[in-house]
Amino acid sequence: MRVPRKAVRVGAALIALTAAIAGTATVGPVRPKGAAAAVDRPNFVMILADDLDARTTPYWDAMPKTEALLADRGMTFTDAFAPMPICCAARGSILTGKYGHNTHVLTNSGDEGGYASFVAHDNEDRTFVKYLHDAGYRTGMAGKYLNGLEDDPTHIPPGWDDWNAGVTKSLYSGYDYTLNENGTMVDYGSDPDDYQVDVIAKKSVDFISDAAAGGQPFFWYAAATAPHLPMEAPPRYADNRFTDDTAPHLPNFQEDDVSDKPTWLRTTAGERSLTVAATNDLDYQRRMGSLLALDDMVAGIVATLERAGELGNTYIVFTSDNGYNLGAHRLVQKMAPYEESVRVPMVVTGPGVPHGRTSDIAISTDFAPTFLELAGVPTPSDVDGRSLVPQLHGEKVTDWRTDFLAEYGGPGPRGEDGVFQEYAPSPLSSVFSEVFLVDLPSWSAVRDERYLYVRWYDLERDEADREYELYDLTKDPYQLDNLLATKAGRAKYAGEVDRLDARLQHLKECSGATCRN
């Protein structure tokens, strides 16, 4: 069934709400660890940005309310990473607590990824949302689920009580998209009130208000696509201060010498550089503009929790599915093993969470076991991640991970299983289609506290024909000097390569507990 957009005018209401709450929301009473009774289990709100990196984009400049309400009051994870740095693989990892080789989702579509692969491997019955639901939680979401859902738009996964998922690729544009609202296809148009982030903000307020009134513990997943290309600022921020900005240029922006990089980048560097030059500043301006709306959404969620008396009993997570290159190494988008693709923001507030920072490595697989432990729900043995509950209570964990696996399953530089699958019509996407070779070859990598070691063409080539990178992150944080690009370098670092390659192979074959050590 398909109906026009519901007769709600969210824009003016949201402007009034955020104006009223800007700088006024306060964190409610904090319950000490272990103090909540079984009948008063904590609530969870996960706010997932899309393609928001922690390296280049100055996101707090566009999100001062979120910084004040969450970062200035909660725990910031300074070393948070997305081990599968592309949307569908990252989201599958978040929902299941598993690496991509265990969800069988390593990219956005094709043989190695997408919604179809996620479903075919029974992942939907093994999400932390399903476990929370079965344990008595009321669950809901609005926004982006998994790439490929548009091919099965009527589908509602098990475990979701309130389902409002985008089922058209035009969701990325912010207008003229369709949501599956609990089985009813609702079309949104091009009016200011149809702006996607604001619609999701309104649904967040409604769900939290209703769930709080019902007295049932709840989980809400706010998955707007800001700041993903080609989303731009809503009309109320059309003349924002970022409109004419130039994107930041880190030392690896449009990297001048890529002779030490793998073949796919050397042979496409010219085209990729042209794409960066043609799109980067406009992309950045739109990104920052859409984050202004995301900031309003976060503030509205916090204010709603406070009004409902649930703020002190609710864990709020703000993070992103993956990072974004924004011109680093001549790359746009994500998918690469480099810092810009894999580093993400991550802040958590909630009962017993002190204000502070931790450098313990947190990865996407950790969300599922964390939510389950906080809810008092057993964590299945096949979950690859570790609970972050100790860090959230300010504890020091002496045996915490010092490395992690990263992986990607694209079909090669001329394939279309990766980022190309996400494009909505826009001036930017037309530029990409003309000059950008849309995908990267497959790779796997291990990143520890000092080194990044990458093995390229894992799916395309036999072992003898693969290519390798090694970076010393303490001396070369922008990954400009591949230590394995010369014969002398390969000889000098042969011992490190042997160690890291063995570790990489262990992690590529791990499952459950063997991924945690």
Tens digits of per-residue pLDDT, 279-292? 999 999 999 999 99
Domain chopping of the chain, boundaries: 2-250+279-404
Q: Where would I find the H helices in 353-407?
A: 367-375, 389-392
- In this structure, of 1-15, 232-246, 486-500, the range with the lowest mean pLDDT score is 1-15
Do the beta carbons of residue 183 and residue 1 sit within 8 Å?
Answer: yes
Phi and psi torsions of 328, nearest 5°: -65, 135
Residue 4: the pLDDT is 59
87 is catalytic: yes
Check whether 389 has a pLDDT greater than 90: yes
pLDDT digits (tens, 9 = 90+) for 309-368: 999 999 999 999 999 999 999 999 999 999 999 999 999 999 999 999 999 999 999 999
Between 429 and 222, the higher pLDDT residue: 222
The active-site residue, picked from 87, 88, 510, 515, is: 87
pLDDT digits (tens, 9 = 90+) for 34-91: 333 345 899 999 999 999 999 999 999 999 999 999 999 999 999 999 999 999 999 9
Alpha-carbon span 46 to 340, nearest angstrom: 22
Residue 5: the pLDDT is 57
Check whether 438 has a pLDDT greater than 80: no
CATH topology of domain 2-250+279-404: Alkaline Phosphatase, subunit A (3.40.720)
pLDDT digits (tens, 9 = 90+) for 130-169: 999 999 999 999 999 999 999 999 999 999 999 999 999 9
How far is residue 319 from each of residues 171, 281, 345, 515, measured CA to CA in Å?
20, 23, 5, 22
